[in-house]
Amino acid sequence: MKYILGVDGGGTKTVIRITNNNGIVVSEYITGAGNYKSVGIELASFNINNGILNAIKQMNTANEDVFFSSSCFGLSGLDCDKDNEIYKNIIFKGEIKKYLNLEKIIICNDSRIGLAAGSNNKNGIMIICGTGSNCFGINEEGQEAKANGWDYILGDEGSAYEIGVKALRSVMRAFDGRGKKTLLSETILNDLKLNNISDLIEWCYGTPFSSERFASLTKTVCRTAELGDKVSINLLYEQAKEAFNSIKVVAKKLNLANRNFDIVYVGSVFRCEKYFKNVLTYMLKNKFPKINFAALTDKPVSGAIKMALNIL
């Protein structure tokens, strides 16, 4: 039988959705990160391929009867030609290849499916502030533009990872006396169930690197800001400003400043409403008088399904 496949491969998790050719969901499966820059090629490949196979198993049909008329893979970390080749190898050399219609397949950055999920406007911008950050836009002329999204070394401003790392550095600056005192010195240790700075150093360096471990500290930073901690409030403000700058750059590239366009928020950092989401919203309203805030009512993977249906 013929189905539609949508994949949202993020830095923390991969969401796989299967629908019939009318877009009705028949299976959904969530597994580990699909961003190879976060977890390595081998694990990203396993998560994507095994996740799709498990989504197929959930359908309670004979596997050999499943065929995807079209599919769309929205993958974080897909930023250049080399990334595209790596993801093609993950998809086309894996066990899932036999289920795919190779003439009807889209492989793109996850920012593209996020925008498709939240907006039908021909002029739109999507900003991801999750484990990683990214900004992507498209205009009615069909032009596309992006900013940031270069991952945790080259550029991840506005992301949960960046917030987590900045928070840890604020703690160390306070510990040394190089920076202002902050409640983060207490709240981070408490939330991580650590006793002292030595334990925190071990937590940071004593295990293999994982961007999502650092990103998880954003919840602590947000809660600490709500307690009135100025260091946390300023930290979140600066990251909201970074997200604003990314949006501003994309809007300029697409000549959207004086047009009606949608903005779609995607990512866990937007759960921090008072000191991140509301701050960014205020900045955008002041800069772009015709901006429309489009609510993301479904998961970003729904955008992958929408794009896959469009190429049928």
Domain ranges, residue 54: 2-117+299-310
Give the largest Cα separation in the chain, rounded.
65
CATH number at residue 111: 3.30.420.40
Residue at 64 is within a domain: yes
Identify the helix (H) or strand (E) that includes residue 68.
Answer: strand 67-75
Residue 217 belongs to a domain: no
Q: Is the pLDDT of residue 62 over 70?
A: no
What dihedral do alpha carbons 112, 277, 233, 176 form, nearest 10°? -20
Q: Edge to edge, what strands does the sheet with 144-147 contain? A: 144-147, 133-138, 124-129, 261-266, 291-294
- pLDDT of 63 higher than 70: no
Q: Predicted confidence band at 136 (pLDDT cuts at 50, 70, 90)?
A: very high
pTM of the model: 0.84
272 with 218: CB under 8 angstroms? yes
Is residue 153 one of the residues assigned to a domain?
no
Domain presence at residue 77:
yes
Q: What percent of the chain has pLDDT over 70?
A: 99
Instruction: Please give the residue that has the higher pLDDT: either 167 or 155.
Output: 167
User: Is the pLDDT reported for residue 112 higher than 80?
Assistant: yes
**173 found inside a domain:** no
> What pLDDT score does 268 carry?
93
- The CB density around residue 32, as the number of other CB atoms within 10 Å, is 19
Count Cβ atoms below 10 Å from residue 40 Cβ, excluding itself. 13
Q: What are phi and psi of 18, to 5 degrees?
A: -120, 135
Is position 272 within any domain?
A: no
Give the list of residues 6+ apart from residue 94 with CB closer than 8 angstroms, or none. 45, 48, 49
Residues 150/159, Cβ–Cβ less than 8 Å: no
The pLDDT tens digits for 71-111 are 999 999 898 899 999 999 999 988 899 999 999 999 999 98
Residue-wise pLDDT for 45-56, tens only, equals 999 999 999 999
Is the distance from CB of 42 to CB of 83 less than 8 angstroms?
no
CB 71 within 8 A of CB 102: no
Is 15 part of any domain?
yes
**Quick check: 64 pLDDT over 80?**
no
Is the model's pLDDT at 278 over the cut of 70? yes
DSSP 274: I
The structural domain count of the chain equals: 1
The per-residue pLDDT of the chain, averaged, comes to 94
Task: Tally DSSP H helices, then E strands, for the chain.
Answer: 13, 10
State the pLDDT confidence band at 261, using cuts at 50, 70 and 90: very high
- The band of 203, judged by pLDDT with boundaries at 50, 70 and 90, is very high
Label residue 312 by pLDDT band (50, 70, 90).
confident
pLDDT at position 155 over 70: yes
Is 7 a member of any domain? yes
Beta bridge partners of 74: 8, 108
Contact 32, 96 (CB under 8 A): no
Q: How far, CA to CA in Å, does 249 sit from each of 89, 147, 257?
A: 32, 7, 10
pLDDT for the residue 152: 87
Residue 118, pLDDT > 70, answer yes
d(CA 106, CA 124): 20
Quote the DSSP letter at residue 34: -
Q: Decide the pairing of beta strands 124-129 and 133-138.
A: antiparallel
